[in-house]
Structure 1
Amino acid sequence: MKDKKDMNKTTIVATSVFVMTILTTNIFQLGRSIAQSNQIDLSGSWDKGVYSHFTFNDEGCTAGYSGEVKTSEKSQINITQTGNKLIFATIENTYKSNDRSGSFKLQRSGSVTGNKVQIEMKGITDLGGTVTLTYTGNVSNNGNTIKGKRVCKYSEGSATGEDDFTWQKVSICGNSVLNGSQNLTNAQNNAIKVVNKFRLNKKPGKWQIAREDVSKRLEKLVKYPCLVDQGQLNACGPAAFLYIWFKRDPEEAVRYATMLFDNGTSAVGGIAIRPRKELVEYNGEKKNPAAADWMMMSALRDSENRFIKFRGERDSENIISFIMDKISGITSPSEMKRWLEATGLYKNVVDKTGYRSNIKDSWETQNLDDAKSLLTSTSNRDVIILIDSVMLGHGLMPFPSHYIVLTSSINEEEDKVKFNYWTWGDQPSEWNDLKEKFLANYYGAIIAEK
């Protein structure tokens, strides 16, 4: 049996690891958010329009191809933006002409700086050479069109092919943005009516942010819930909850926000949300996250805290304040479960995260069979999974540090695991990596059954 001194040492080490994990995860997020706050957001589905194919052979790459070309992506391309980095899925092209046929995969990456976009697509063909397509273009002021030049090079020859390209954004979160049109549900239309009524109210709100900014943002979140963004806040729990709430019941989510702005207090179902006066009076006019997101998430988080206040500070130069805000921003699985239950949307909410009361083994990773059963084609549920952010390429130490929302089933393919998820105000993204990496960083889920 350990004596008291050994137990104190264990507690100090565990606490140090915990604080360092939170700090490293959030320092990465701080950098990501600062970069993203100054960028056009290109996340969404884009129509590539009508374009010619290239011919590649031992002479190089030339414009025009008389044969048949098929691609696994068809006419649209999906972009996920993280900071200034553009992320794409790998696609497979097959071609057939009179003289030959074959297939090859294209790995794609890109970046955006201001309104300048550069994208590179590269793949090794069945002939053994490498074909590279480079797209260089400009984004329109409304962020819905990319126009520019496309250049093709093939490693086995010197000829270079070139043509123009135009991409048109067609959807965000699966909803159309073409010609500004979008088919809204009755629930979304009712939510927008609440926003419009709120917008016409001329009385000053309790928060130090502009009513019109909040109105515009709420209308956008009603239409595109995937844009809910924690930004520089350690608020992945409130962000995941709000993303689901805006998707499932946008009218009640908007009422929560508008009541909070007007009164300084609000409610999630039967849970009273009463943030501290210091938070309500804090200047929330910052770029990232948006003022409305910041207000909704910060109030929810601060209202739950009994001992450590959540300041909602995004740019604190005081290291102590910075650390305390990261610690006070942590959302427990039981809190997440309680918020989901309070919405009244679910008949049952189950916490199946790997939390254990034993201090020595406070958290345990979960098994793959359990994960594969979380979301199926016949299930009517929302699932939030708890992970170590190392799974997404962030953080340095093993600890459950981030909530993400599952948007597809989790599938096992030989030595890999594949699924789609939502986080950080982006389009749902694909995770496709080694089974070992998944199992080392997966800590279970909160399942809300309709």
Structure 2
Amino acid sequence: MTAAAFERMNHARAILQRFASAGRPAGAKPPSVAALQQSPVGWPVARDDLVTQIDARLRGTSMPRQLATSYCGPAAFLYCILKDRPDIYVSYAVALWETGHYTFRTGVGHVEVESADRTKASLAAITGRRRGKEQISDLDWMTMAALSASTRPLSALRRGAGPDDVGLSITYPWVLKQWFQAGGSRPQVDSMGLGALKSGLFMFANLMRFWRSHWLVIQIDSSLVTTGAPNTFEQRHWVVVNPNFQPRVRREGQGPWIAMGDIMPDFWKVPQEQAVRAMEGAHLADWPMELSLVTWGKEDFRARMTRLGDIPARFYGGYAFPHFR
């Protein structure tokens, strides 16, 4: 951990400690403590419960996890924020609970997040209808649902989030980019465009060149990690390339593993008559690959599809975002 990262983590823990202590002031009587456990803006989660969940994030024992919701986009963004700027992550969660709003603001953008009444009421509804079953955590619903609902493309749709808002909760590429820019990170590489078409193997490999110094946030067909056939409309899924495991391939299926970003020259090693289609990478399709992703609350979710040829039908594009400062 760098000195800057150590300082940010200490700052995050200090923010959380102040928040926790405010709920149990010295000498306070039980009625006062009970009142301080309640969110001033109506979030149906006790202060102490939120402290426990945030603390687990800072200790690394839990990660943003959307479960059955459509919040893979917010989960990806908040994972990157948590890793680079835990102090901002804690400030965001605490501010939502205390005041109902938070603004991500830097010199390259800003995003205002509000806690709509419907979003808060839906948290209680989720808990009530899924008792005994695994469900999205209070912390994740607060931070993900509020972010998603506050930044929907049309203002008429920003009336809060509900557990069944599958279509409304989709994160469009330009919205995800807006979040990162509000956090101070403008993409150095953008192969998404509007996200209407697949980007291909060449663009995927090119993005992997930035693995060491950037957050690689990509939109895939979920069959890349779960197997099965791709589905253009129902299985789009935002993930982060695991920052602790470099994507790699085995050239022609032989020899040592090499960084996936190092295969760019191999695209052009084709006969002259095939040069026009070299970027499709058909001659690389059988090369084995290893790809680890951050998704569904896990930092090392290995792609079940293990050949470069599995990428083109399952990769819509992505971004290389510099790390948050």
* Pair in the same fold by TM > 0.5: yes
Secondary structure of the corresponding residue to residue 219 of structure 1: helix
Q: Judging changes above 3 Å, is the alpha-carbon distance between structure 1 residues 437 and 348 closer, same or farther for their aligned structure 2 residues?
A: closer
* Matching residue of 2:300: 428
Q: Judging changes above 3 Å, is the alpha-carbon distance between structure 1 residues 355 and 411 closer, same or farther for their aligned structure 2 residues?
A: farther
Q: How far off is 1:253 after superposition? A: 1.0
Q: How far off is 1:439 after superposition? A: 1.3
Question: Which of 221, 226, 229 is equivalent to 2:65?
Answer: 229
Question: Which of 26, 35, 44 is equivalent to 1:208?
Answer: 44
1:417 aligns with 2:289: yes
CA distance in 1, matches of 2:237, 2:211: 27
Q: Judging changes above 3 Å, is the alpha-carbon distance between structure 1 residues 396 and 447 closer, same or farther for their aligned structure 2 residues?
A: closer
The amino acid that maps onto 2:144 is: M
Greater shift, 303-312 or 330-339, is seen at 303-312
Question: Which of 4, 11, 15 is equivalent to 1:194?
Answer: 15
CA distance in 2, matches of 1:351, 1:226: 29
Question: Which of 359, 364, 380 is equivalent to 2:213?
Answer: 380
| TM-score normalised by structure 1 residue count | 0.52
| TM-score normalised by structure 2 residue count | 0.70
Q: Judging changes above 3 Å, is the alpha-carbon distance between structure 1 residues 419 and 307 closer, same or farther for their aligned structure 2 residues?
A: same
The amino acid that maps onto 1:308 is: L
Question: Which of 156, 160, 169 is equivalent to 1:329?
Answer: 169
Question: Which structure has greater helix proportion?
Answer: 2
1:307 aligns with 2:156: yes
Question: Which of 258, 266, 269 is equivalent to 2:102?
Answer: 266
Question: Which of 240, 256, 260 is equivalent to 1:405?
Answer: 240
Contact preservation (8 Å) 1:199, 1:215: yes
Question: Which of 355, 365, 379 is equivalent to 2:194?
Answer: 355
The amino acid that maps onto 2:91 is: R
CA distance in 1, matches of 2:173, 2:66: 18
Q: How far off is 1:383 after superposition? A: 0.9
CA distance in 1, matches of 2:57, 2:76: 13
Residues 268-311 of structure 1: CA deviation (Å, up to 9, x unaligned)? 22321123222124344735211111110010011112233575
Q: Can you give the 5+ residue segments of structure 2 that lack an aligned partner in the other structure?
A: 24-35, 128-133, 253-285
The amino acid that maps onto 1:290 is: S
Contact preservation (8 Å) 2:293, 2:301: yes
Residues 7-27 of structure 1: CA deviation (Å, up to 9, x unaligned)? xxxxxxxxxxxxxxxxxxxxx
Q: Judging changes above 3 Å, is the alpha-carbon distance between structure 1 residues 446 and 435 closer, same or farther for their aligned structure 2 residues?
A: same
Q: How far off is 1:376 after superposition? A: 4.0
Q: Judging changes above 3 Å, is the alpha-carbon distance between structure 1 residues 378 and 438 closer, same or farther for their aligned structure 2 residues?
A: closer
Greater shift, 396-405 or 334-343, is seen at 396-405
Q: How far off is 1:226 after superposition? A: 6.0
Secondary structure of the corresponding residue to residue 197 of structure 1: helix
* % identity of equivalent residues: 23
Q: How far off is 1:191 after superposition? A: 0.5
Residues 388-444 of structure 1: CA deviation (Å, up to 9, x unaligned)? 112222786234610010124433433133221110001322225132322110111
Aligned 1:108-127 pairs, distance under 5 A: none
- Number of residues paired by the alignment? 252
CA distance in 2, matches of 1:378, 1:274: 33
The amino acid that maps onto 1:427 is: E
Residues 211-251 of structure 1: CA deviation (Å, up to 9, x unaligned)? 11111111111221862111221100000000000000000
Question: Which structure has greater strand proportion?
Answer: 1
* Higher RCO (CA < 8 A, seq sep 6+): 2
* Matching residue of 2:266: none
* Matching residue of 1:278: 118
- Coordinate RMSD, CA, aligned: 2.6
Question: Which of 200, 207, 210 is equivalent to 1:367?
Answer: 200
* Matching residue of 1:29: none
CA distance in 1, matches of 2:290, 2:168: 32
Contact preservation (8 Å) 1:340, 1:349: no
Q: Judging changes above 3 Å, is the alpha-carbon distance between structure 1 residues 376 and 193 closer, same or farther for their aligned structure 2 residues?
A: same
Question: Which of 62, 74, 77 is equivalent to 1:238?
Answer: 74
The amino acid that maps onto 1:369 is: F
* Matching residue of 1:12: none
* Matching residue of 2:145: 298
Q: Judging changes above 3 Å, is the alpha-carbon distance between structure 1 residues 190 and 366 closer, same or farther for their aligned structure 2 residues?
A: same
* Matching residue of 2:89: 253
Aligned 1:67-146 pairs, distance under 5 A: none
Q: Judging changes above 3 Å, is the alpha-carbon distance between structure 1 residues 330 and 225 closer, same or farther for their aligned structure 2 residues?
A: farther
Q: How far off is 1:375 after superposition? A: 3.3
